[in-house]
Structure 1
Amino acid sequence: MNGLSPCKRALTTAGSREAADAVTPERSHVQNEPTVRMTAVRRLYEVSARMGAGRSLAETLQAVVDGVVTGLGFGIAVLNLRQADGKFEVIAVAGSPEAREALLGTISAADIFDAEFAIADKWGGLRFVPHERLPEGGEIVGWVPEIPVPTAADAWHPLDALFAPLHSSDGELVGMLSVDLPEDQRRPGQIHRELLEIFATQAGIAIDKARLTDQLLAEKARLEASETTFRLVFEGAGNGMATIAFDGPEAGRILRVNDAFCHITGYTPAQLIGTTFVDYLRDEETGQTEREIQQLATGRGPYRFERTFRRTDGNDIWLGGTAAIVDQGKDQPRIILIQIDDVTARKDEERELRHHAAHDPLTGLPNRRLLQHRFNAALQRSRQSGRRGVLLFCDLNHFKQVNDKYGHEAGDKALREIADRLLTEVRHGDTVARLGGDEFAILAEDIDGDDLDVLMRRIDESISQPLDGIDVPVTASIGTAIVSPYAADLDELLRTADNAMYEAKRTYRATQT
């Protein structure tokens, strides 16, 4: 017979007649039933109050077994708590130091009670296993109180067992309460059965509540530990970190910043906390922030960003970093955790590299690559509007003499001066590009007729002005090509304008002879 879980079937045979006598005093039987019931109800009320006062699971379990022994008239009580894997563990014992030493901490299989319940009497929600139904010749293993074997039919036998299954409010089996040694040494009557069953019902609910309380306390401790870890990481991080409310009335407002964030942005925590983060950002494109927030909300991982941020001194810096939505748990608003670094130096380098890739290093004017890009855009607009533009090819006359007479350093200075003159004379939106050497191109959209003549005359007169410190009379020969919706490509138009320029140059030379 498996005897690990019932209190009298547990690993040791310790126990004495004196101990049994101490917890099983004779009780007078002359009391009438109403008096007995009233006394029992009073006891039930008292022990239930003590049981409900337990705050933790361990306190509640001990209160249950103590209440059985002190208030319900049993000498020994053992509580087996059902574990997550279905097994039972003896968690609390009351009434006998020997039984406590033998039973406490023992673990039994999930089906430990099945064989006994198969031969048990059903007393409402209780299960009573009378000794006479135990298999004959079976080995009794466990703790058995040393009390005389009674002869009366209703007397309590040392091998009798009484169990009270404990259920949560939703019916889940949470434990098993086993009791022994009724104080009148008789099998419990109807009153004590009812009281034990009522107590077991309350105990099951109390245990379930206490278990939930323990889980909540453990979760609180875990969250507090997690918060402590987060705070240490947050405050000690070398990069800037901030939390921003994502949900609720505070959505978009900064909740927390670390020292590195303040150092990078130039603000104090008091200046930042409670303000709206996006107010510090500058959109490079219309609706950029709104699109990024939507992408962050619908994305599955951290969102990487690079944005310009307005410092407290009014200057803009580039911030690069990540943003991720953090779920803080049930009924808690979500937050955005961002990590930032100042990437202004890298962005400046990238911008400089892009500028060098698209501009002439001597004059700073757009080079042929950037001219091609702008020509493509102009051609597209011409095809949409039907309006025409013009491409001017400009070659400097006598410029070789400047280099020969004054040297290339003076020649470079003269080219920069001519580039500045060209930029001064063209209209806003026109592109002046250096093609190489002393050759320039000007892309002018939506121009023809008189306006083109005026532009060419202004350019010619400007370049013809004496150069600083140079007495060589530098002039310009200009050729043009029409940018129409039917234009082919930039190379073809440059050839057309170049041919027109050489024709203008021949005409100029002819006038000089």
Structure 2
Amino acid sequence: MGAGRSLAETLQAVVDGVVTGLGFGIAVLNLRQPDGKFEVIAVAGSPEAREALLGTVSSADIFDAEFAIADHWGRLRFVPHERLPEGEVIGWVPDVPVSDDPAAWHPLDALFAPLYSPDGELVGMLAVDLPEDQRRPGPIHRELLEIFATQAGLAIDKARLTDQLLAEKARLEASETTFRMVFEGAGNGMATIAFDGPEAGRILRVNDAFCRITGYAADQLVGERMLSFLREEEPAQTRQELEEVAASNGTYRFERVFTQPAGKAIWLGGTAAVVDQGAGQPRILLIQVDDVTARKDAERELRHHAAHDPLTGLPNRRLLQHRFASVLERTRETGRPGALLFCDLNHFKLVNDNYGHEAGDRALREIAGRLAAEVRHGDTVARLGGDEFAILAEDIADDALAALIARLESAVSQPLPNITVQVTTSVGTAPITPASTDLDTLLHQADQAMYTTKNRRP
């Protein structure tokens, strides 16, 4: 959802992000048109849904009836299938089995996320389906979707403005007077940069918005090289890409870290176009930028939430899977084995029973911190759920592995603050070798080994 994307690119990025980042099987984006009607512009996750829905146009009140019977989850609207009028089905329905579990996701359930611009205008409607755990989303999952929807609405609004600015630029290239008025009055930061000749790379002109965003006065910018303010890792590649864009009369889209006067780094996102000023005149680069730091921070937070356990802050199963794939690849390259440890807490139920779940949550956070403190640098401690943890340890065996297990057992068995129940841990291990195949198999092996260890305890 980067600034500088066209509207079509932004819409597809939104639905792709929902499917790949938030764990829904299907995402559909209805864009609100100027006449108030909704058109399905982007679909992700299901070729069948895409074929059935893409391009369909619905009336402005298409969602009113469903929203009237919906549960309000913050800005989200959830329509449980049991409230739908009998025999009434709106839109495409996935062909999936129906579970008897009341908390399971039903194919007729519907979850909507309205998308708003910064000034509160409804710009679209995001519909999601088929959560990957096949259950109705809980509070954390809902919050992540709501955060994503907020950022998506802002990105769509930015993309519309970008498309409008690019179209306006194309019309105004022949009129320097009119262009100057647009340049100076634009809400986005704009600058021109020499693209050819000895002055190539130097800033020629900036507008007030560019100065406001970057924190520099115009006389501090004009004449300076743009690269002296940017964190540019591959300037030669950027130059080549700009040349290709110029040859095709296209637009270059970018996001770069910019250093403000006090040394603070911000993210700038925007577009750049190479402008031919005519025969004998050097080409210039016209750029428009926005401060996208807040969005980048929100995206980073969103990625963190999607990969970490909300209670302990430890990596979750998804991040464990990602890191396991890297460890397995290196194990196959070096031939040196690693280990997957499965840790189950003993007597932890007594903590919840005797002290309550709030105390149990504090104890889990304490134990998670102890486990993380005892592993080696580079090892991964993940929470699988409940009182179960997994530890991914690369390049370890025999005495080193036994020493790691002993440290973990000792750390967990230490008294918990204000709790008299002695919690211990049983640890099972499974070796990671070049012949290992997948994480689920190793987790099952380590789980079985853990139960063997647990049964040996007096």
The normalised TM-score by structure 2 is 0.60
Q: Structure 1: which 5+ runs fail to align?
A: 1-222
2:434 alignment counterpart: 485
Deviations 1:318-338 (A, max 9, x none): 211101111111222111111
Query: What does residue 237 of structure 2 align with?
Result: 291
Q: Structure 1 segments of 4 or more deviating over 6 A? A: none
TM-aligned CA deviation for residue 449 of structure 1: 2.0
Q: Which amino acid aligns with 2:347?
A: H
Q: Return the index of the structure with the highest Cα Rg.
A: 1
- Which of 487, 490, 496 pairs up with 2:445? 496
**SS at the partner of 1:405?**
helix
Partner of 2:276: 327
- 1:307 and 1:423 map into 2 onto residues whose CA distance is 34
SS at 2:390 equivalent: strand
Preserved CA contact (<8 Å) 2:342 2:389: yes
- Secondary structure at the aligned position of 2:223 is classed as coil
2:175 aligned counterpart, secondary structure: helix
Instruction: Give the whole-Å Cα distance in 2 for the aligned partners of 1:469 and 1:249.
Output: 72
| Alignment partner of 1:382 is 2:331 | yes
Amino acid of the structure 1 residue aligned with 2:253:
R
Instruction: Report whether the alignment pairs 1:266 with 2:215.
Output: yes
In the TM superposition, what is the alpha-carbon distance from 1:364 to its structure 2 partner?
1.1
User: How many pairs were matched up?
Assistant: 284
Q: Residue 264 of structure 2 aligns to which amino acid in structure 1?
A: N
Superposition pairs for residues 119-268 of structure 1, below 5 Å?
Answer: 226-268=175-217
- Determine the C-alpha separation between the residues in 2 that align with 1:418 and 1:281: 43
Percent of residue pairs identical: 69
Shift in CA distance, 249/472, structure 1 to aligned 2, threshold 3 Å? same
Read off the aligned partner of 1:389 and give its amino acid letter.
G
Query: In structure 2, the residue corresponding to 1:468 is in which secondary structure?
Result: coil
- Distance of 1:366 and 1:228 partners within structure 2: 56
Distance 1:455 1:500 in 2: 16
Is 1:366–2:312 an aligned residue pair?
A: no
Q: Does 1:464 align with 2:410?
A: no
- Secondary structure, counterpart of 2:354 in structure 1: helix
1:177-223 Cα deviation digits (max 9, x unpaired): xxxxxxxxxxxxxxxxxxxxxxxxxxxxxxxxxxxxxxxxxxxxxx9
Q: Aligned with 1:354: secondary structure?
A: helix
Report the more deviating stretch, 348-357 or 239-248. 348-357
* Corresponding position: 1:277 with 2:226: yes
Q: What is the distance in 1 between the residues matched to 2:241 and 2:350?
A: 61
Over the residues paired in the alignment, what is the CA RMSD in angstroms? Answer: 1.8
Name the aligned partner's letter for residue 236 of structure 2. Answer: E
Query: What is the CA-CA distance between 1:415 and the residue it aligns to?
Result: 1.0
Give the distance between the partners of 1:470 and 1:376, measured in 2 at CA: 38
Q: 1:376 is paired with a residue of what secondary structure?
A: helix
User: What residue number does 1:399 align with?
Assistant: 348
Q: Distance in 1 between matches of 2:224 and 2:400?
A: 53
> How far did 1:347 drift?
1.8
Q: Measure the CA separation in 2 of the matches of 1:235 and 1:392.
A: 62
CA gap 1:498/1:336 in 2 versus in 1, 3 angstroms: same
CA distance in 1 between partners of 2:307 and 2:288 (Å): 33
Name the aligned partner's letter for residue 276 of structure 2: D
Q: Per-residue deviation at 1:225?
A: 8.2
* Match of residue 264 from structure 2: 315
Equivalent position SS for 1:467: coil
Deviation at 1:230, TM superposition (A): 1.9
1:413 equivalent to 2:359? Answer no
- Structure 2 Cα separation of the partners of residues 225 and 392 of structure 1: 68
Give 2:53's aligned residue: none
Give the match for residue 426 of structure 1. 375
Partner of 2:292: 343
Separation (CA, whole Å) in 2 of partners of 1:464 and 1:350: 38
Paired residue secondary structure (1:434)? strand
- 1:133 equivalent in structure 2: none
Are the equivalent residues in 1 in contact too, given 2:273–2:286 (CA < 8 A)? yes
Look up the match of 2:384: 435
Letter matched to residue 376 of structure 1: A
2:211 aligned partner, one-letter code: C
Letter in 2 for 1:428: H
Amino acid at match of 2:240: Q
TM-score with structure 1 setting the length: 0.53
8 Å contact kept, 2:184–2:208: yes
- Shift of the alpha carbon at 1:274? 2.1
Q: What do the CA deviations read for 1:51-101 (whole angstroms, capped 9, x no partner)? A: xxxxxxxxxxxxxxxxxxxxxxxxxxxxxxxxxxxxxxxxxxxxxxxxxxx
Structure 1 distance, partners of 2:289, 2:352, is 52
C-alpha displacement of 1:416: 1.1
After superposition, the Cα gap between the structure-2 partners of 1:225 and 1:490, relative to the gap in structure 1 and judged at 3 Å, is closer
**1:496/1:326 CA distance change after superposition, 3 Å:** same
